[in-house]
Amino acid sequence: MDNLVLAFAIIGILGVGAQWFAWRFNFPAIVLMAIAGVLAGPVFGVFTPDGALPGTPPMEALFGEFYRPIIAVAVAVILFEGGLSLNFAELRGLTKGVQRLVFPGVPIAWGLGTVAAYLIGGLSWQVALLFGGIMVVTGPTVIIPLLRQSKLNARPATLLKWEGIVNDPIGALLAVVVYEFLVFGNGHASPGEIVSSIVLASLLAGGLGFAIGRFVSASFRRGWVPEYLKPPVLLALVLLCFETANMLQHEAGLLAVTAMGVTIANSRIASINELRLFKENITVVLVSGVFIILTANLTMESIRALDWSVFWLLVAMLFIVRPLSVFLSTIGAGLPFKERLLVGWIAPRGIVAVAVASFFGAALLEEGYPDAGMLIPLAFAMVFVTVVMHGFSIGPLAKALGLASRERPGVLIVGASPWSAGLAAKLQELEIPVMVADASYRRLQPARLANVPTYYGEILSEVTEHHLDLNRFGYLLAVSSNEAHNALISTDLAPELGRAAIFQVNARGKGEEDRRALSYTLQGKTFLHSGIGLDDLVRRHYSGWQYQRTKLSEEYTPDRYQQDIDPEAEIILAIRKSALVFASREAPLKLEIGDVVLAYIPKPQNKPAPEPLDTPRQADEHAPDA
């Protein structure tokens, strides 16, 4: 293939398609991206340009001198986005644990990895030293999707996220130290001079990132940049920071952009959430594309170079080096044994490890180290094995250790009222995890009296973000009396939960045709088929309406249920296997056999009873209850 535009299109389809399949079938995304890249690259040769020499990496032959800059820019943006997600408020009670994972965790992992690569992998001590330095990284490109997939508790999730983002630039700098020592240390400079120059350049790079981050924060707060220009200005400054730091020291740009991201994340910028969302969208595209490019760049010769010594090296890295380095470094850090066990197992490698190994492997090969050519296939093997094993095991292991919820995804109800308290109590009776949140302690009283879990506080505050674990909830009902607040909640939490799982009720049930109503683009899905307002729901509560649960079956079909139910009744939701399907105006609920239906029905009148909802032989299982 010589058509670069078509190549980019195929890369985009493969990368984003792998992300979609991963979301749809709950697989680790990076596993599917790796498989797609290998199939498109060394297996089928989709990207191999015409006239390329046999054994030439296909992507390097296709992109030429642009190959490395593409990877470098993508990695810079990815690390900046990771730093942008690091808020120091998350570290409450975990500061010592994170510090220990960085120091002495990184030196311990570097030393053990080097010994394993030398004794088990058969690498020369020089290349083993480089391999050990690169493998201390556990990138955000793989950690954060795994955390989102497994829904870990806040403490272990914070440990893994901070370690992954902070250690990425450190691993790259360790590779720089080893490379400079091997190439320039033979008579050109002493080890002390090399280390001191790299340390000085790193400090300058970190200071540069901090300074640019502070400048961005001040500029945005003072209104020097209009809202629509903030994302592109930020992107341009990230690239400037990255390349300026690289001029001071090779790979120091990774440290600079990470420091820039962390600085902005902790500067209290009003538009920080919009910036994070923009960067996250860019990162998803870059991660998808870059990983396809890197895996497709493998050759069959490099894959065939993997032998049994590589297999035993991978075993040692997974089952000895990582657990031992975590347990040794966290002695006295105050972390429970179960958290140390989980963190000691979970260490997937990502794009930064592959990108750094690709660069320094090729550079050392040119400097006369023949086994440096093994760095690239070794890095890919580590990435693939760790992502597959950790991706499929993090959820079951976390649940077995009690570090992730075993319950089905719960319902967060924002807005306390007698009606919402009654709904929450009924959901709790159906064994659906539920919580009612409100900024008024008085309004939460009905929920507390019903023994429903409550959260007192503003759901959109930063305090709530660090005290309420949203991973426990798969659905949100915004049912306060303030429509604007409901819409703000729906918009703010949409990236976290997904708009398809967010429902809101209007205070007065205004129709979509009302020009004075809020724009539908700001709101969640309209709760209930009728779109009835909160005022009417509360009136119905006081007039004696009740919640009714009914089980549908082959004998009592959905059609018969629809015929029997009161015409004024509102179907709330259907419990279908492990999922909840809420009724909404935009997506009418289609009932199926096997559903457990929860409906809101009028108070029974003193008149002859209608035909019962359930057949006599099923009355004990399906009988309506209030």
Domain stop point among 400, 427, 448: 400
Question: H helices within 520-577, ranges in order?
Answer: 534-542, 558-564
Residue 195 within any structural domain of the chain: yes
**How many other CB atoms are there within 10 angstroms of residue 553's CB atom?**
16
Residue 95 within any structural domain of the chain: yes
Strand, helix or coil for residue 527:
strand
Task: Give the span between the Cα atoms of 487 and 520, in whole angstroms.
Answer: 9
Write the DSSP assignment of 226-283 as a string of letters: -GGGHHHHHHHHHHHHHHHHHHHSTTHHHHHHHHHHHHHHTS--TTHHHHHHHHHHHH
Residues 484 and 373 in one domain: no
Residues 356 and 259 in one domain: yes
Which residues, in sequence order, are CB contacts of 77 under 8 Å at separation 6+? Answer: 235, 238, 239, 257, 279, 282, 283, 286
Q: What is the reported pLDDT for 383?
A: 85
Task: Using only the alpha carbons of the chain, give its radius of gyration.
Answer: 28
Q: What is the reported pLDDT for 54?
A: 67
Task: Give the span between the Cα atoms of 174 and 313, in whole angstroms.
Answer: 20
pLDDT in tens, 165-212: 888 778 877 887 888 788 766 556 676 777 787 788 888 988 999 999
Which residues, in sequence order, are CB contacts of 446 under 8 Å at separation 6+? Answer: 416, 417, 418, 421, 422
**In the 8-state DSSP scheme, what is residue 193?**
H
Residues 259 and 394 in one domain: yes
Residue 38 within any structural domain of the chain: no
Residues 452 and 361 in one domain: no
Q: What is the reported pLDDT for 333?
A: 87
Q: What is the reported pLDDT for 467?
A: 65
Residues 331 and 452 in one domain: no
Reference 440, options 471, 415, 470, 477; nearest CA is: 415
Which residues, in sequence order, are CB contacts of 613 under 8 Å at separation 6+? Answer: 548, 550, 556, 561, 564, 565, 622, 623, 624
Which residues, in sequence order, are CB contacts of 517 under 8 Å at separation 6+? Answer: 483, 506, 510, 511
Q: Which helix (H) or strand (E) holds 352?
A: helix 351-366
Q: What is the reported pLDDT for 613?
A: 44
Task: Give the span between the Cα atoms of 94 and 156, in whole angstroms.
Answer: 9
Residues 393 and 327 in one domain: yes
Residue 64 within any structural domain of the chain: no
Query: How would you class 578 by CB atoms within 10 Å of its CB: exposed for 0-12, middle for 13-18, buried for 19 or more?
Result: exposed
CATH number for the domain harbouring residue 207: 1.20.1530.20
Cα angle: 83, vertex 243, 296; to 5 degrees: 75
Task: Give the span between the Cα atoms of 176 and 245, in whole angstroms.
Answer: 14
Residues 292 and 419 in one domain: no
Q: Which helix (H) or strand (E) holds 7?
A: helix 4-25
Domain extent for 553: 410-622
- Strand pairing of 579-582 and 570-576? antiparallel
Residues 150 and 208 in one domain: yes
Beta bridge partners of 527: 584
State phi, psi for 602 to the nearest 5 degrees. -65, 160
Residues lower than pLDDT 50 in the chain:
512-513, 515, 607-626
Residues 426 and 319 in one domain: no
Domain stop point among 367, 400, 433: 400
Q: What is the reported pLDDT for 365?
A: 83
**How many other CB atoms are there within 10 angstroms of residue 426's CB atom?**
22
Residue 88 within any structural domain of the chain: yes
Q: What is the reported pLDDT for 609?
A: 42
Residues 222 and 241 in one domain: yes
Instruction: Name the strands in the sheet holding 434-438, side by side, starting at the edge strand that comes first in the sequence.
Output: 454-456, 434-438, 410-414, 473-478, 502-504, 525-526
Which residues, in sequence order, are CB contacts of 344 under 8 Å at separation 6+? Answer: 322, 323, 324, 326, 327
Strands (E), 358-464: 410-414, 434-438, 454-456
Q: What is the reported pLDDT for 93?
A: 66
Query: How would you class 370 by CB atoms within 10 Å of its CB: exposed for 0-12, middle for 13-18, buried for 19 or more?
Result: exposed
Reference 384, options 348, 343, 344; nearest CA is: 348
What's the number of CA atoms in the CB half-sphere (13 Å) around residue 458? 7
Residue 310 within any structural domain of the chain: yes
Would the CA dihedral through 264, 266, 267, 270 be positive or negative? positive
Query: How would you class 518 by CB atoms within 10 Å of its CB: exposed for 0-12, middle for 13-18, buried for 19 or more?
Result: middle
Residues 367 and 393 in one domain: yes
Q: Which helix (H) or strand (E) holds 316?
A: helix 308-316
Residues 340 and 485 in one domain: no
Locate tokens 């293939």: which residue? 1
Residue 26 within any structural domain of the chain: no
Q: How many domains does the chain have?
A: 2
Q: What is the reported pLDDT for 522?
A: 62
Q: What is the reported pLDDT for 515?
A: 47
**In the 8-state DSSP scheme, what is residue 187?**
T
Task: Give the span between the Cα atoms of 245 and 194, in whole angstroms.
Answer: 17
- Strand pairing of 579-582 and 410-414? unpaired
Q: What is the reported pLDDT for 608?
A: 46
Contact of 505 with 479, CB cutoff 8 Å: yes
Residue 3 within any structural domain of the chain: no
- What is the 3-state composition of the chain as percent helix, strand, coil, each rounded to the nearest 5? 60, 10, 30
**How many other CB atoms are there within 10 angstroms of residue 89's CB atom?**
12
Q: What is the reported pLDDT for 51?
A: 63
Domain stop point among 353, 378, 400: 400
User: What are the b/e assignments for 142-176, b being 16+ CB within 10 Å?
Assistant: bbbbbbebbbbbbbbbbbbbbbbbbbbbbbbbbbb
CATH number for the domain harbouring residue 534: 3.40.50.720
Packing angle, helices 252-265 and 191-221, rounded to 10: 30
User: What are the b/e assignments for 455-492, b being 16+ CB within 10 Å?
Assistant: beeebeeeebeeebebbbbbbbbbbbbebebbbbbbbe
Strand, helix or coil for residue 573:
strand
